[in-house]
A = this chain, B = another copy of it.
Amino acid sequence: MSHDKLNYLDVLREQGYRLTRQRQVILDAICQAGGHATMGELVHRTRLVEQGIDRSTVYRTINLFVKLGLVNAADDENGERTYEIVQEEHHHHLICKRCGAEIKIENQLVDEFYRDLKAAYEYQVQMDHLIVFGVCAHCKTPSDN
């Protein structure tokens, strides 16, 4: 499990929100999805654990988590919004279009790109989570080069 449940749920209480069973289940669901899960997937995952939880509760809860900064929203290749537990530090991903593998990009590499953009255009990039789509080493065929 990639989240420290107590820590996350403490954030709720500190802000005056209550600690309900539903919120715990939904937090676990986001976490177990391992990142980049859509609303629909999270509703499904939540229901596997407890089928009584309403769709609207999942929506409300995830939007609350996003507002509190516990969960990050990013948009995938098809323009679908996906959610993941916020990690300690900013990170960026490569996602393979064939196998779906998700590869962390070293921040350094992206920072360098951002720095170049800034140098060339005086443009300050504001993207905490860059997602780049392509084909990973494992799935690559000669024609992809």
A109–B130 alpha-carbon span in the complex (Å): 16
This chain: copies in complex: 2
Whether A123 sits at the interface, judged by CB under 8 Å, is: yes
Q: Is B79 in contact with A94, judged by CB distance below 8 angstroms?
A: no
Contacts of A50 in B (CB 8 A): none
The A interface is mostly helix, strand or loop, or mixed, namely: mixed
Nearest opposing residue in chain B for A109, CB measure: B116
Q: Is A140 in contact with B124, judged by CB distance below 8 angstroms?
A: yes
On chain A, the number of residues with a Cβ less than 8 Å from chain B's Cβ atoms is: 33
Q: Is A137 in contact with B121, judged by CB distance below 8 angstroms?
A: yes
Q: Is A123 in contact with B136, judged by CB distance below 8 angstroms?
A: yes
Q: Is B117 in contact with A125, judged by CB distance below 8 angstroms?
A: no
Contacts of A125 in B (CB 8 A): 94, 132-134
Contacts of A81 in B (CB 8 A): 79
What's the least CB distance linking A114 to chain B, in Å? 8
| Contacting residues of chain A (102-145) with chain B, CB-CB under 8 angstroms | 103, 105-106, 109, 112-113, 116-117, 120-127, 130, 132-137, 140, 144-145
A126–B80 alpha-carbon span in the complex (Å): 18
| A residues at B contact (CB < 8 Å) | 75, 79-81, 94, 96-97, 103, 105-106, 109, 112-113, 116-117, 120-127, 130, 132-137, 140, 144-145
